[in-house]
C-alpha cells in the first residue's frame, strides 16, 4: 500500500491526495464542494463555484476539445451504476449504458457502453468453447490474426492469450464478448518491450492449464517463424499431447525461412491443423476455416446513429467498429453479427452546451439488414435521457462507476485514452493507477449492492490490469 501511495502521489498532480485503505483517493479540500478532474498535468481539484467557460465552435471542421478534463468524485469512489436503455427485436438487442445522466451545461462528452446481444435460436449456434491463443510472433500480422480468431467467437466462448516471449499470460480467461479489451491488451503487449527469451513449450503448458480438462477446448498457435522454437521436438511433443487429450489444435505459421516439409511433419506429428502461408490474408482465410464461427450470420451491416437534442452530437471515438462523422450526428458501424454473438464496445459522444436544468437526450437509431428478410433494411430506436447541470460536484457524484471502470481499463490499454486526458495522457503519467482505483471502487460498489455480475466484472478488470502490468 505504501508503494501504491507513492506512485499515486506522483501521478496525481494535486496537493497531498490520500489513498484510503479501500483504494479510493481523497482530495483534501476542507470546507470545499467540488470534484477531482483528470487533466494533462494530473488530477486537479475544481470547486463547484468554478464553472468552466463554454467553448463555441464557429467552424464545423474545427477539432472538438473538452472545456474541462475528466470529472471524478472528489473522494475517487463511485456510488451509482448505470441503468441500461434497451433496443430490441427478435434475435437482436442493444443495451446502452451511459456514463452520465447529468451532463455539463458548459458542454462535454458522455461515454456509452454498447452491449450487442444476438441470442441464438435452436440450431443457429455451435456449442460454447474454451480457446487459448498462444502468440509466438510480433508485429501487425500477429494482431490481425488474433482479431480474425476473435471475430469467430461468441458470447458463450471463453478465451485466454499467452505470449511465448517470457511465457506471459497477456489475457486471463474471459468471455469473448470483451473483444476490444482482449485486442487492446494484445496490441499493448506487442508494442511494449518484450523478453527476448522464447519458451514456446512453457507457453503451451500454461495454455493447457488455463483451458482445463472439460468441455470443448481449442488451442490456436500463431507463429511468425522467426525463431526455431516452432519446429523443436519439444514443441511437437507438446502439441501431440494436446491433440491426444482431445484439444482441437491449429497452427498458423508464416515461415518463409522454414522448410515447408518440416511444417508438414510438425502437423503430422501433432495432428494439428496447419495454416501455413506468407501472405497474412491467406492465413486469415485459413483460420476462418479452422475455427468455426459462433453461429450463422443473422444480421448484416449494423449501424448505430447517435443524435443529440439539442444538437449536434458526434461520435468521437470507439473501442471497436467504424466511427462515422455526420453534420448533426455520429454513427458507429458494427458490421455483421452471428447468432449467439455478444459484443461490448465503449464510445465517446459529444454533448453541446445548453441551459442548466434543461433536458438532454440521445436518440439512438439502429439500422441493419435481416438475413431472414433479404432486401429490406430494418430500423429501431430508443432515447437515452439526461439532464443539464452546472454543479460539478453533483455531476461527479452521479457518474456511473461500472461504465467508467470499464472505459478506464480500455484507456490503460491505449484505447479510449483520449476520453480521460486527451493528448496529455503520457505527460500525466498514464492512467494505470487511476484504472486500478476505478476497478477497486467498482468491486466495493458491487459488494455494497450485493451484485454478483458486477463483482465478476470488477474481478475481470482487475485480473486484466494485473496481467498487463
Q: DSSP letters of 237-292?
A: HHHHHHHHTT-EEEEEE--TTS-HHHHHHHHHHHTPEEEE-SSHHHHHHHHHHHS-
Neighbours of 159 (CB within 10 A): 26
| Per-residue pLDDT at 178 | 95
Which helix or strand (DSSP H or E) is residue 464 part of?
helix 452-467
Decide: 219 and 235 in contact? Cβ < 8 Å: no
The count of C-alpha atoms lying within 13 angstroms of the C-alpha of 138, restricted to the half-sphere facing its C-beta, is: 14
Report how far residue 457's alpha carbon sits from residue 439's, in angstroms, rounded to the nearest whole number.
9
CATH 2.60.40.3880 fits domain 85-120+295-393: yes
The count of C-alpha atoms lying within 13 angstroms of the C-alpha of 456, restricted to the half-sphere facing its C-beta, is: 6
Report how far residue 302's alpha carbon sits from residue 118's, in angstroms, rounded to the nearest whole number.
12
Report how far residue 463's alpha carbon sits from residue 377's, in angstroms, rounded to the nearest whole number.
41
Neighbours of 54 (CB within 10 A): 13
| Per-residue pLDDT at 30 | 60
Nearest to 429, CA basis, from 445, 442, 415, 412: 412
Cell 428478410 -> residue: 373
* Residue 85 cell numbers, joined: 436503455
Report how far residue 382's alpha carbon sits from residue 89's, in angstroms, rounded to the nearest whole number.
12
- For every residue of 139-205, DSSP letters joined together read SHHHHHHHHHHHHT--TT-EEEEEETBTTEEEEEEEETT-HHHHHHHHHHHHHS---S-B-HHHHHH
Q: DSSP 3-state helix, strand, coil percentages of the chain (rounded to 5)?
A: 30, 35, 35
Report how far residue 457's alpha carbon sits from residue 469's, in angstroms, rounded to the nearest whole number.
18
| Per-residue pLDDT at 7 | 37
Predicted TM-score (pTM) above 0.75: yes
Pairing mode, if any, of strands 216-223 and 248-253? parallel
Cell 494485473 -> residue: 466
pLDDT beneath 70, residues of the chain: 1-32, 60, 227, 255-259, 427-429
The backbone torsions φ and ψ at residue 301, rounded to the nearest 5 degrees and listed phi first, read 50, 55
Q: Edge-to-edge, what's the strand order for the sheet holding 315-318?
A: 85-89, 92-98, 108-117, 342-351, 315-318
Chain CA centroid to CA 85, Å: 20
Which helix or strand (DSSP H or E) is residue 432 part of?
helix 432-449
Which helix or strand (DSSP H or E) is residue 2 part of?
helix 2-11
User: Per-domain residue ranges for the chain?
Assistant: 85-120+295-393, 129-290
398: helix, coil or strand?
coil
Which helix or strand (DSSP H or E) is residue 323 part of?
strand 322-325
Decide: 387 and 101 in contact? Cβ < 8 Å: yes
Nearest to 430, CA basis, from 114, 188, 168, 181: 188
| Per-residue pLDDT at 184 | 94
Q: Length of the chain in residues, anyone?
A: 469
| Per-residue pLDDT at 203 | 95
Q: If you ran DSSP here, which 8-state letter would residue 400 be given?
A: B
- For the chain, report the end-to-end CA distance as a whole number of angstroms: 16
Neighbours of 151 (CB within 10 A): 20
Chain CA centroid to CA 154, Å: 15
* Residue 295 cell numbers, joined: 453461429
Tell me which CATH code domain 129-290 carries. Answer: 3.40.50.410
461: helix, coil or strand?
helix
Decide: 57 and 7 in contact? Cβ < 8 Å: no
Report how far residue 328's alpha carbon sits from residue 378's, in angstroms, rounded to the nearest whole number.
22
Amino acid at each position: 500500500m505504501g508503494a501504491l501511495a507513492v506512485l499515486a502521489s506522483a501521478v496525481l498532480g494535486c496537493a497531498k491526495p490520500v489513498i484510503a485503505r479501500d483504494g479510493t483517493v481523497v482530495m483534501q479540500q476542507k470546507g470545499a464542494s467540488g470534484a477531482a478532474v483528470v487533466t494533462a498535468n494530473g488530477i486537479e481539484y475544481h470547486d463547484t463555484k468554478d464553472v468552466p467557460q463554454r467553448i463555441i465552435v464557429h467552424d464545423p471542421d474545427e477539432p472538438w476539445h473538452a472545456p474541462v478534463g475528466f470529472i471524478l468524485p472528489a473522494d475517487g469512489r463511485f456510488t451509482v451504476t448505470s441503468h441500461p436503455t434497451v433496443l430490441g427485436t427478435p434475435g437482436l438487442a442493444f443495451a446502452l449504458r451511459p456514463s452520465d445522466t447529468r451532463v455539463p451545461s458548459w458542454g462535454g462528452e458522455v461515454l456509452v457502453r454498447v452491449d450487442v446481444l444476438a441470442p441464438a435460436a435452436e440450431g443457429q449456434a455451435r456449442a460454447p468453447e474454451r480457446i487459448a491463443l498462444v502468440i509466438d510472433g510480433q508485429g501487425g500480422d500477429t494482431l490481425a490474426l488474433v482479431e480474425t480468431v476473435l471475430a469467430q467467437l461468441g458470447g458463450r466462448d471463453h478465451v485466454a492469450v499467452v505470449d511465448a516471449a517470457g511465457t506471459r499470460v497477456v489475457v486471463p480467461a474471459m468471455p469473448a464478448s470483451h473483444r476490444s479489451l482482449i485486442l487492446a491488451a494484445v496490441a499493448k503487449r506487442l508494442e511494449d518491450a518484450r523478453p527476448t527469451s522464447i519458451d514456446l513449450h512453457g507457453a503451451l503448458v500454461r495454455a493447457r492449464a488455463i483451458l482445463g480438462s472439460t468441455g470443448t477446448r481449442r488451442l490456436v498457435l500463431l507463429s511468425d517463424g522467426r525463431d526455431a522454437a516452432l519446429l523443436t521436438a519439444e514443441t511437437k511433443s507438446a502439441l501431440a499431447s494436446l491433440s491426444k487429450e482431445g484439444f482441437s489444435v491449429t497452427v498458423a505459421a508464416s515461415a518463409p525461412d522454414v522448410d515447408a516439409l518440416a511444417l508438414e511433419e510438425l502437423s503430422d506429428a501433432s495432428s494439428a491443423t496447419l495454416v501455413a502461408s506468407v501472405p497474412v490474408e491467406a492465413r486469415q482465410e485459413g483460420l476462418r476455416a479452422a475455427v468455426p464461427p459462433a453461429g450463422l450470420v443473422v444480421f448484416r451491416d449494423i449501424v448505430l446513429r447517435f443524435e443529440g437534442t439539442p444538437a449536434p452530437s458526434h461520435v468521437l471515438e470507439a473501442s471497436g467498429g467504424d466511427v462515422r462523422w455526420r453534420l448533426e450526428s455520429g454513427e458507429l458501424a458494427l458490421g455483421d453479427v452471428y447468432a449467439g454473438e455478444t459484443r461490448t464496445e465503449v464510445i465517446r459522444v459529444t454533448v453541446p452546451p445548453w441551459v442548466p436544468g434543461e433536458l438532454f437526450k440521445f436518440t439512438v437509431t439502429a439500422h441493419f439488414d435481416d438475413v431472414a428478410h433479404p432486401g429490406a433494411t430494418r430500423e429501431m430506436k430508443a432515447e437515452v435521457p439526461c439532464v443539464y447541470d452546472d454543479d460539478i460536484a453533483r455531476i461527479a457524484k452521479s457518474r456511473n462507476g461500472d461504465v467508467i471502470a470499464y472505459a478506464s481499463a480500455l484507456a490503460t490499454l491505449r484505447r479510449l485514452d483520449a476520453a480521460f486526458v486527451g493528448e496529455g495522457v503520457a505527460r500525466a503519467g498514464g492512467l494505470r493507477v487511476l484504472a486500478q482505483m476505478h476497478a477497486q471502487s467498482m468491486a466495493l460498489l458491487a459488494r455494497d449492492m450485493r451484485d454478483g455480475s458486477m463483482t465478476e466484472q470488477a474481478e475481470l478488470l482487475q485480473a486484466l490490469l494485473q496481467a498487463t502490468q
